[in-house]
Structure 1
Amino acid sequence: MELMLKLLTGGAGSLAAYLAAHVLLCLLPAFFIAGAMAALIPKASITRWLGRSTPAYVSYPAAAAAGSLLAVCSCTIVPLFAGIYRKGAGIGPAMTFLFFAPAGNIMALAYTGSILGPEFAVARVVFCLMFGIGIGILMALVFWRDDASHDAQTDTLFAAQASIAPAALGVLLSLVALLIAGTLKLWPLTTTVGTFTLPLPWAMAWQDTLFGWVPFDAAKGEEGVSFQGSVLIGLLLLISATAWKGMEDIIEGANHWTWVALGLAATTLLVAALRLTPVPDGLEIALTGRAFGVALSLGAVWFYARQLPADDWRSWLWEAWRFVKQIFLVLVIGVFVVGMVRQLIRPEWIESLAGSNTVLANLVAVGFGVFMYFPTLVEVPVARMFLDLGMHPGPLLAYLMADPELSLQSMLMVAAVIGRTKTAAYVGWVAVFSVCAGLIFGAWVDGAGWTSLALPLGLCLAGLAVALAWLRRRQRQVVTA
């Protein structure tokens, strides 16, 4: 009974901390972006760069380049992946985008270099690029029949759209700006412009209560629920209640619950962009550059959304709501389960098992990335901790490759979009390539010469070239048919 209570408490604490810290400035804009891509962007605009018939030398680098600009976690990227896939992107480029964005984005690479050293950053970008494209090509080859069927379905759904309207483009770019303003940890977004204090003497007591309810160890990358987090969770619950009444029949027209839900969503994003800190005499509220960036982005979204025809903005909101219903529940379940499993895994086990560069050690590191999920960029200081405690650099790189990709909740979300068979194949490829990356990098760290490393790297590149040639042959056959 005590163990079960510990597991349930761990799951609930993990879920509360996740919702308080990550859903709002990351996932809320991501769902709206996914809805906009599905409803407002013509299929031709997606397939021109990421379509299954687009030359591979165009589509796969384009997918990786798009992913490199988004400093998002494995959960936030799924709605964006779902948006481009539903709109007609080929399964290969879409999977490359899904793989590269969490692990190979510019912020992750810069942070990796500053905390772990430039050799880790270089290895991470090289392997992410090579294996991300490789996984995409393999997925396109294995599931080419399903990909062709999916392409035909998107033709049926979106054939009527010919070009993107200026207002629709403005909405999409404003939403991307909102996502960037809410997630990037760069000056001037993080700078404090001004502060003021609200006379709330109970704020510190409430913060202490929250820490008692959801204990955490910051040294292990865990997060508690702050005062601000509790406010955001409350707002999120209000959004859930009002959105169900306001979005379920949005195609038939908006009602007052629709505007309440949208107003709450905007308010929540603004509150999340502030910095709320309990102090002895009340609650200190810091106005940050992020708050101004979020406010300006929201204003731009509203400005362009008002110019959309009624059918377009209704379709946009419906698609966003459809993605929420499809993905959010499995996300919640996944985070809860991860929190439970996390209570059973001891970090010292990982350290002892991953102290050398073996296949088992790299597999353990990959498994650790699955069940010990950390939000975007937090995996880097956690990796620093394990490096200091004796984890071998090879398994450490395998962990850095797998953690942003294979969190349990993200796997459940991806399965809801593309099905369990494709998800299982993707997970398998990511695990295999992560282990290979760890073994190769670990061998280099242990002093292996470039000549001995040339063989596995050459085999990887040769396999990639063969797969690419096979894919181009398939594409030509489809075109001639």
Structure 2
Amino acid sequence: MNAENKDKKDRSVCLDAGCDAEKPEKSEKSGKTEAAAKTESADGSDKHLKSKDDFNLRPEPSGFELGAKKILWIVFAICFGIFLFFTSENGEPVVRKDSIAFLKGLANWLILSSHSGSTALIDFLSTHLISAMVPAFFLAAAISTFFSKETIIMAIGKKSNPLTSYPLAAFAGAILTVCSCGVLPIFMSLLQSGAGIGPAITFLYASPAINLISIIYTWKIIPSMLWARIIAVAVCAIAIGWLMSKIFANMPEEFESEELKIKPSKRKAWQEAVFFLLLVAIMLTSTNLFSGITDRLVPASWFASRGEELAVKTAYLAGKLLAILVEIILVVVALRMWFTWDDTRKWLKRTYRQARSIMPMVVLGIFFSGFLGGTSALVSSFSVFADNSLFSNLAASVIGAMLYFGSIVGVNVVDLFMRWGMHHGPAMALLLAGPSISLPSVLALMPIMGKYRTAVFLGLVVIFTTLVGLLFGTFGAAS
């Protein structure tokens, strides 16, 4: 009797304290000390009681539940689509008249825009793939594989003199013929080889707009903008690169892996220089820069049986291919004489990796930029560009930053738009933004620099090109 009263008393005390009589026993089984169990009980925690945060935790849905949800959403979408395109009259389903017109308009827009996007993609692949992208990938991989990392760091590295590194980066692309997409593998290689983010961004912006081919073409088509374009590209490139280096001063060393830490080369500097000049020569030859020489290599009389016009074109093509073939043979000879097979294998492997990581985004971006360019409202509405207002320059910069303009095509587009009534202020903004950045290059830059850095770079390009367009439209010579 006394034992029962004592047991009831102990239980009443335990209940008043908010504990459980079985708690110590469970805590021993789970390896917990009695003190820990008492603390757990005092806090009110229990196996069957959950805190507020615990109610937010849900078990992962099973495959059946996920499949059922997908089916329900599909059924909902179908039913809602039926509601949009059909109505009911006297209990009978009737097709909405306005929905038919909408579907016809949508189909026409999709057909025209798809044709525009496909045409832009085919033009790019036929014009720039062999003459720009493929040589650029080989050249970029050679930079990161063979070029002395110490030389790059000394020239445009993080600790280099900005008074020399930024101008050098701004004008280094003059010898290359690359578009905003073709420069990406070279830009990635510069970052991987230890270049500072500022000079690398300067090179990224300036190279597509200041290369020798685009400068010569600008001089032929719109000579009134030649010197303004050269000066504006250099100033904008240096300013954007410098601001990027300040904004991202503490940029993490994510571009240098153990594989990319190149040991000092055993080759002589002139050997590497000759090898790179041969690669650059292949790129320039494929872009008709040396057409005055290649056109004379093969006589047109060799193909006289095909007719005069076709014979001349065939002779020009044969001369270019012959020159490229000779340059490729010289590259192979240089590889055999000065480089090991392991060096060559790494170079080819890196070329493939860079092409695989960049080309898919480039192809998608070019298609969708052409897709947007096929929209009649975007192409035909030029009244907004007739004056030199802030809005017209900003709109031209945004359009130029989104649509894909090659180094040569951008000059043609600006010349055409000016003949259609575009003021030369917005035309300059479009000329500066178009070749330097595009939707394909923005998409391809995201896995290289990250979304935030890419967005900041895009914003700086739009701001600077807008300001330069305003200044040129106010003080520049009228076209």
Residue 390 of structure 2: aligned partner? 359
Residue 129 of structure 1: aligned partner? 234
Residue 143 of structure 1: aligned partner? 248
Q: 1:350 to 1:107 in 2, by over 3 A?
A: farther
Q: Which amino acid aligns with 1:161?
A: K
1:158 Cα offset (Å): 4.3
- Give runs of aligned pairs for residues 356-435 of structure 1, distance below 5 A: 356-435=387-466
Once residues 290 and 284 of structure 1 are traced to their aligned partners in structure 2, the CA distance between those partners, rounded to angstroms, is 10
Q: Give the SS at the match of 1:306.
A: helix
Note the alpha carbon deviations across 1:182-239, whole angstroms, 9 max, x for none: 12535425635433559999xxxxxxxxxxxxxxxxxxxxxxxxxxxxxxxxxxxxxx
Once residues 442 and 415 of structure 1 are traced to their aligned partners in structure 2, the CA distance between those partners, rounded to angstroms, is 33
Q: Give the SS at the match of 1:188.
A: helix
Q: Of the two structures, which has the highest relative contact order with CA contacts closer than 8 Å and spacing of 6 or more?
A: 1
Q: 1:8 to 1:294 in 2, by over 3 A?
A: same
Residue 291 of structure 1: aligned partner? 321
- Give runs of aligned pairs for residues 273-292 of structure 1, distance below 5 A: 284=314, 286-287=316-317, 289-292=319-322
Residue in structure 2 matching 1:165, options 267, 272, 281: 267
RMSD: 2.8
Residue 321 of structure 1: aligned partner? 352
1:442 Cα offset (Å): 0.7
- Give runs of aligned pairs for residues 75-86 of structure 1, distance below 5 A: 75-86=181-192
Once residues 329 and 53 of structure 1 are traced to their aligned partners in structure 2, the CA distance between those partners, rounded to angstroms, is 34
Note the alpha carbon deviations across 1:416-453, whole angstroms, 9 max, x for none: 32222111111110010000000011111489xxxxxx
Once residues 356 and 164 of structure 1 are traced to their aligned partners in structure 2, the CA distance between those partners, rounded to angstroms, is 59
1:172 Cα offset (Å): 2.6
Residue 305 of structure 1: aligned partner? 335
1:33 Cα offset (Å): 1.0
Is the 8 Å Cα contact of residues 74 and 405 (structure 1) preserved in structure 2? Answer: yes
Larger of the two Rg values belongs to structure: 2
Is the 8 Å Cα contact of residues 285 and 291 (structure 2) preserved in structure 1? Answer: no
1:5 Cα offset (Å): 2.8
Is the 8 Å Cα contact of residues 425 and 469 (structure 2) preserved in structure 1? Answer: yes
Once residues 116 and 412 of structure 2 are traced to their aligned partners in structure 1, the CA distance between those partners, rounded to angstroms, is 22
Once residues 239 and 358 of structure 2 are traced to their aligned partners in structure 1, the CA distance between those partners, rounded to angstroms, is 26
Q: Does residue 181 in structure 1 map to residue 285 in structure 2?
A: yes
Q: 1:407 to 1:350 in 2, by over 3 A?
A: farther
Q: Give the SS at the match of 2:405.
A: coil
Q: 1:6 to 1:115 in 2, by over 3 A?
A: closer
Is the 8 Å Cα contact of residues 206 and 233 (structure 2) preserved in structure 1? Answer: yes
1:102 Cα offset (Å): 1.1
Q: Which amino acid aligns with 1:55?
A: N
Is the 8 Å Cα contact of residues 354 and 362 (structure 1) preserved in structure 2? Answer: yes
Residue in structure 2 matching 1:49, options 138, 150, 155: 155
1:113 Cα offset (Å): 2.9
Q: 1:295 to 1:392 in 2, by over 3 A?
A: same
Once residues 381 and 4 of structure 1 are traced to their aligned partners in structure 2, the CA distance between those partners, rounded to angstroms, is 26
Q: Which amino acid aligns with 1:82?
A: M
Q: 1:378 to 1:10 in 2, by over 3 A?
A: closer
Moved more, 181-190 or 73-82: 181-190
Is the 8 Å Cα contact of residues 338 and 408 (structure 1) preserved in structure 2? Answer: yes
1:157 Cα offset (Å): 4.1
Between the aligned residues of both structures, percent identity stands at: 30
Residue 334 of structure 1: aligned partner? 365
1:306 Cα offset (Å): 2.0
Q: 1:181 to 1:441 in 2, by over 3 A?
A: same
1:28 Cα offset (Å): 0.8
Q: 1:300 to 1:446 in 2, by over 3 A?
A: closer
1:8 Cα offset (Å): 2.6
Q: Give the SS at the match of 1:391.
A: coil
Residue 128 of structure 2: aligned partner? 22
Once residues 4 and 404 of structure 1 are traced to their aligned partners in structure 2, the CA distance between those partners, rounded to angstroms, is 27
Is the 8 Å Cα contact of residues 194 and 287 (structure 1) preserved in structure 2? Answer: no
Is the 8 Å Cα contact of residues 355 and 390 (structure 1) preserved in structure 2? Answer: yes
Gaps of 5+ in 1: 202-276, 448-481
Q: TM-score, normalised by structure 1?
A: 0.70
Q: Give the SS at the match of 1:139.
A: helix
Once residues 266 and 451 of structure 2 are traced to their aligned partners in structure 1, the CA distance between those partners, rounded to angstroms, is 33
Gaps of 5+ in 2: 1-106
Deviating runs (4+, > 6 A) in structure 1?
198-201
Q: 1:284 to 1:116 in 2, by over 3 A?
A: closer
Once residues 379 and 136 of structure 1 are traced to their aligned partners in structure 2, the CA distance between those partners, rounded to angstroms, is 23
1:411 Cα offset (Å): 1.4
Q: 1:445 to 1:309 in 2, by over 3 A?
A: closer
Q: 1:135 to 1:370 in 2, by over 3 A?
A: closer
Q: Which amino acid aligns with 1:98?
A: L
Is the 8 Å Cα contact of residues 193 and 261 (structure 2) preserved in structure 1? Answer: no
Once residues 143 and 368 of structure 2 are traced to their aligned partners in structure 1, the CA distance between those partners, rounded to angstroms, is 31
Q: TM-score, normalised by structure 2?
A: 0.71
Q: Does residue 436 in structure 1 map to residue 461 in structure 2?
A: no
